[in-house]
Amino acid sequence: MNFNKVLEQKKVEIEQIISGYLPEEKGFAAGMAQAMNYSMEAGGKRLRPMLMQEVYRMFGGTSMVIEPFMAAIEMIHTSSLIHDDLPAIDNDEYRRGKKTTHAVYGEAVGVLSGDALLNYAYETACRAFPMVPGSELPGKALAVLTSKTGIYGMLGGQSVDVTNEGKEISREMLDYIYKNKTSALIEASMMVGAILAGATDEQIAVMENIGERIGLAFQIRDDILDITSTMEELGKPVFSDKKNHKVTYVTLRGLEQASRDVEMISEEAVKLLKTFPQKDEFLEELVCYLVNRKN
């Protein structure tokens, strides 16, 4: 398998699926839909829908019911990036190599389009229900998606991150922040894929565990790239953590140890993945690619 070629093909397929679920730019709120679509179409790795689709296939899923959920997770993720870039949070002008949403449409539309995209994600996920009449699986998946996004997931982690900027924080608090602000959506992606394919509760729990580790390794890699990469390669400003007076994994562990930790945590994730009788070579390679990524 040529991993990079397959990765690119999957990304194209995912972008086609997502584009079928974007809001129409019409009526008085056309400007808002335009801002939502601007951020959704600005690029990105599409990692979360890719993980979701791959896990769904690994557990034998073949129907289109996964598609609204794939679009929904990318909408949630993108809404969080729009808000993360706002002047009240990181105040960044570039993301995915393009001007951030508020930099193009103004701060008010930035706030509202982030909110609208988050809500539209749930509207989109609900479109899975009529695809499988009578099935309890979309409801089970929706419950995971919503709770991993909220106070007991991404938003909880982000709130602790933002309110502790410039302060000394413990390793325990940093782990909480990473587990929630970054891992939670990756856990949701993998769990939703497993749920919709009819995996058992035990298998879903293992997927949650794998997602937690991938998210942790992914976020530590993000911290490393923030100080070792360039704006051109990342598509967003570097030294953002320093600018925002943030304690990161690199601050606490040092660059070399942080890199070793990324290796160790991602190996744990792959090891867990290998415990399933269903083999997915692409998924294993994807985990390694993500934690060694350059952007």
d(Cα 242, Cα 248) in Å, to the nearest integer? 9
Q: Are 141 and 196 in contact (CB under 8 A)?
A: yes
Confirm or reject binding of residue 182 to ligand GRG (CB under 6 A).
yes
219, 240, 248, 266: residue in contact with ligand GRG (rule CB under 6 A): 219
> Could you tell me how far CA 158 lies from the centroid of its own chain?
13
- From candidates 33, 96, 120, 262, binder to ligand GRG by CB under 6 A: 96
Min dist CB 118 to ligand GRG, Å, is 4
* Segment lying near ligand GRG (by CB under 6 A), choices 44-52, 63-71, 133-141, 275-283: 44-52
Sequence-separated contacts (24+) of 122-130 with Cβ below 8 Å: 122/72, 122/146, 124/21, 124/68, 124/71, 124/72, 124/75, 125/68, 125/69, 125/72, 126/68, 127/21, 127/68, 128/65, 128/66, 128/67, 128/68, 128/69, 128/196
Angle between helical axes of 255-273 and 201-228 (0-180°, round to 10): 160
Q: Taking contact as CB under 6 A, which single stretch among the options 2-10, 43-51, 123-131, 196-204 is the one that binds ligand GRG?
A: 43-51
Q: Report, in Å, the least distance between residue 155 CB and ligand GRG.
A: 5
Asked if 101 is part of the footprint of ligand GRG (rule: CB under 6 A), the reply reads no
Site string for ligand GRG, 148-167 (x = CB under 6 A): ------xx--x---------
CA distance 187 to 204: 10
Residue among 135 and 146 whose Cβ is closer to ligand GRG = 146
CA distance 121 to 111: 16
CA atoms within 13 A on the CB side of 152: 7
Tell which positions 255-284 bind ligand GRG, by CB under 6 A.
Answer: none
- Interacting positions 69-88 with ligand GRG (CB under 6 A): 76, 79-81, 83-84
Instruction: Report the nearest approach of ligand GRG to the CB of residue 205 (Å).
Output: 23
**Min dist. Cβ of residue 257 to ligand GRG (A):** 20
In this structure, are residues 66 and 196 in contact, taking their beta carbons and an 8 Å threshold?
yes
Q: Which is nearer to ligand GRG, 59 or 249 (CB)?
A: 249
Q: Which residues bind ligand GRG (CB under 6 A)?
A: 44-45, 47, 76, 79-81, 83-84, 89, 96, 114, 118, 154-155, 158, 181-182, 219, 222
